[in-house]
Amino acid sequence: MLPLCSLPKKASSFLHSLSLSLSAMEETQIASILKSSELYPIPQSVKLSYGTAGFRADASLLESTVYRVGILSSLRSLKLKSSTVGLMITASHNKVSDNGVKVSDPSGGMLSQEWEPFADQIANASSPRELVSLIKDFVEKEEIVIGEKGGGEVWLGRDTRPSGERLLRAAEIGVRSVLGSVAVDVGVLTTPQLHWMVRAKNKGLNATESDYFENLVTSFKCLIDLIPINKLEISTLVLDGANGVGGQKMEVLRGYLSNLDVEIRNTGRDGGVLNEGVGADFVQKEKVVPLGFGSEDVGMRCASFDGDADRLVYFYIPSESCGDKVELLDGDKILSLFALFIKEQLNIIGDEGKQCRLGVVQTAYANGASTDYVKEMGLEVVFAKTGVKHLHERAEEFDVGIYFEANGHGTILFSESFLSWLVGKQKDYSEGSDKHNAVSRLVAVSNLINQAVGDALSGLLLVEVILQHMGWSVQKWNELYKDLPSRQVKVEVPDRTAVVTTSEETEALKPLGIQDAINAEIKKYQHGRAFIRPSGTEDVVRVYAEASTQEDADSLANSVAQLVKSFLGSS
């Protein structure tokens, strides 16, 4: 441990001036944090907030933040009895000059929302003294014991960004500044790989990257083997890897899969820039082909990952006359395909399968046509606040909960009790029977899909095996329903907090009267739907509108935007 004499005189004086309970935090612990935090002074005029995406900013501003999140991760591990916690360095679909950091809880899910205020506080602490005081108070409040029964364990992953290695070193120093804590560098990974590995480790399972690949391959092959022979159809998939880590990991995975013909473009090995004119976020928002795709791909089944491979969208170019425009199959279409397949298996099982509570979780941004389609299947649909952490929480309420945002981030959750029931039924039903095969498919899906977090690699494999099972082309899949035209706009306002919505964000509670005015506008349009919500990051109010034609959707969005201005004013 660092001796007190190694500290600067001011820091040493500060240390002795603190009134400390040594059972909560020993002097050597405070000395360690004071010393290491001097290496990473906080940039001036930078204020960061921890959200669904963790902290994100220009990479040059993040060393102090990542260092401090390293400390938080160690404390989180200690709080949870030295369970392994994950720390991922990525900015997902952001430009390559950005980076970010987020924490995976031992469950493989996102950092508990109860800890987000503490994350904000320590990230923005203006000095080592303030940082130590915040940590001391938090440790005492949470009753975290440091240094008595070993330390925390934090697994560190990063994507392919050039700044990642430097930031990972800052994270290591942060983790190790908490007495006894261990930082394990698990290398360059997709974000979902790290979440999966953390979850597996804490469940006592094999948890290396090789185990992740083996799990995907075994489950995929099981589902392939259960496809009726007369439905089997294999055609080439063309994948846009966003010039990021996902394309490179797919190259590894492809080597194990004989039943998947995939051509991978934009791997980042040919000079392409991460997320620049490529990737799921670009394709989903712009509805145009990514770089490296063109007229030679007309009619081909194509897919895009985002930079850290936690988002997935599909697309195809309908004809050369469409130029660079694509037919997009977004998260809503993926959700619908998954729901259809799982419902089919439950129907095969019969009355017992129908007792399973299968539900779908969407946000208000989900296209209304997708919601109608799922409801027509007889499934329960609930809405959650924007942000996958909110959808994940609602999905846990079901025996099988499927959630996706339109941006392509989502997954399927299976309750432990339902999985146990399925495993038991595998023994009850005669092998090779329709019911046995249906149960086996559901078990394989539970293993293939990444239940920790949205995962483009596992999601892609599940889409591909379902299309083969159905004998469907991407065009046939796209015919499940036709998206309603929509429009999103944002309105700059003096104070976005003046807008208060329901928890599902589908209706505005404040300002008083605005929802009645919005409803009056909606009634003017066939299949009209609109809502407003305050931005989480800037002083704007976001408006979403749908209608039967694009012209009507545009008109409704503009009308609602004018209502926002009249009720709140504009800045």
Averaged in consecutive runs of 10 residues, what is the pLDDT profile of the chain (571 residues)?
41 46 64 92 88 90 97 97 97 96 96 96 95 94 83 96 98 96 98 98 98 98 90 84 98 93 94 96 94 95 97 94 89 98 96 92 96 96 93 97 96 97 92 95 98 97 96 96 94 93 94 96 97 85 96 97 91 63
The answer for residues whose C-beta is within 8 angstroms of residue 45's C-beta and 6 or more apart is none
Question: What pLDDT is attached to residue 203?
Answer: 97
Question: What pLDDT is attached to residue 27?
Answer: 84
CA distances from 124 to 44, 179, 405, 491 (A): 10, 23, 30, 29
The annotation status of 536 as a binding-site residue, yes or no, is: yes
CA distances from 223 to 121, 438, 499 (A): 47, 10, 47
Question: What pLDDT is attached to residue 420?
Answer: 96
The annotation status of 303 as a binding-site residue, yes or no, is: no
State the Cα–Cα distance between residues 554 and 547, nearest whole angstrom. 9
Q: Do 441 and 412 form a contact (C-beta atoms < 8 A)?
A: no
Considering the domain 235-329, what is its CATH architecture? 3-Layer(aba) Sandwich (3.40)
The annotation status of 405 as a binding-site residue, yes or no, is: yes
The H or E element containing residue 543 is strand 540-546
The answer for residues whose C-beta is within 8 angstroms of residue 294's C-beta and 6 or more apart is 324
218 CA to centre of own chain = 24
Scanning 203-330, the segments in alpha helix (DSSP H) are 209-225, 245-254, 280-286
State the Cα–Cα distance between residues 272 and 66, nearest whole angstrom. 27
Task: Tell me the domain boundaries of the chain.
Answer: 4-188, 235-329, 335-478, 486-568
The answer for residues whose C-beta is within 8 angstroms of residue 47's C-beta and 6 or more apart is 124
- Inter-axis angle of helices 209-225 and 191-202, nearest 10: 90
Q: What angle do CA 497, 498, 503 make, to 5 degrees?
A: 70
Question: What pLDDT is attached to residue 230?
Answer: 67
Q: Is 92 a catalytic residue?
A: yes
CATH number of 4-188, picked from 3.40.120.10, 3.30.70.20, 3.40.50.2300, 3.30.450.270:
3.40.120.10
R_g of the chain computed on alpha carbons: 25
Q: What are phi and psi of 434, to 5 degrees?
A: -60, -40
Question: What pLDDT is attached to residue 148?
Answer: 64
Measured from the Cβ of residue 117, the count of other Cβ atoms closer than 10 Å reads: 11
Asked whether the bond before 511 is cis by omega within 30 degrees of 0, the reply is yes
Q: Which of 92, 181, 415, 486 is catalytic?
A: 92
Query: Does residue 81 come out as left (phi exceeding 0), alpha (psi in the -120 to 50 range) or beta?
Result: left
The annotation status of 459 as a binding-site residue, yes or no, is: no
Question: What pLDDT is attached to residue 259?
Answer: 87
Question: What pLDDT is attached to residue 21?
Answer: 43
Considering the domain 486-568, what is its CATH architecture? 2-Layer Sandwich (3.30)
Closest to 333 measured CA to CA, from 470, 548, 478:
478
Question: What pLDDT is attached to residue 7?
Answer: 47
Considering the domain 335-478, what is its CATH architecture? 3-Layer(aba) Sandwich (3.40)
User: Do 4-188 and 335-478 fold alike per CATH?
Assistant: yes
The annotation status of 306 as a binding-site residue, yes or no, is: yes
The annotation status of 537 as a binding-site residue, yes or no, is: yes
Closest to 210 measured CA to CA, from 168, 256, 153:
256
Give 157-176 as a DSSP string.
Answer: EE-S-TTHHHHHHHHHHHHH
The answer for residues whose C-beta is within 8 angstroms of residue 129's C-beta and 6 or more apart is 11, 14, 34
The annotation status of 127 as a binding-site residue, yes or no, is: no
State the Cα–Cα distance between residues 160 and 207, nearest whole angstrom. 21
Token pair listed for 65: 């933040």
Token pair listed for 97: 């000059």
58 forms beta bridges with 98
Tokens 């990542």, located at residue:
66
State the Cα–Cα distance between residues 42 and 399, nearest whole angstrom. 45
The annotation status of 68 as a binding-site residue, yes or no, is: no
Closest to 57 measured CA to CA, from 157, 175, 163, 169:
163
555 CA to centre of own chain = 32
Residue type (1 letter), 111: L
Q: 201-228 burial by CB neighbour count: b if 16+ within 10 A, else e?
A: bbeeeebebeebbebbbebbbbbbebbe
Scanning 80-235, the segments in alpha helix (DSSP H) are 116-123, 128-142, 164-176, 191-202, 209-225
State the pTM of this model.
0.93
Measured from the Cβ of residue 148, the count of other Cβ atoms closer than 10 Å reads: 11
The annotation status of 533 as a binding-site residue, yes or no, is: yes
For residue 433, give the DSSP letter: S
For residue 279, give the DSSP letter: S
Token pair listed for 157: 């992953």
Tokens 């002074």, located at residue:
41
The answer for residues whose C-beta is within 8 angstroms of residue 59's C-beta and 6 or more apart is 91, 97, 98, 99, 161, 163, 167
- Side-chain-side CA neighbours of 93 within 13 Å: the count stands at 21
The annotation status of 12 as a binding-site residue, yes or no, is: no
The annotation status of 399 as a binding-site residue, yes or no, is: no
Question: What pLDDT is attached to residue 182?
Answer: 97
Question: What pLDDT is attached to residue 537?
Answer: 67
Q: Do 147 and 177 form a contact (C-beta atoms < 8 A)?
A: no
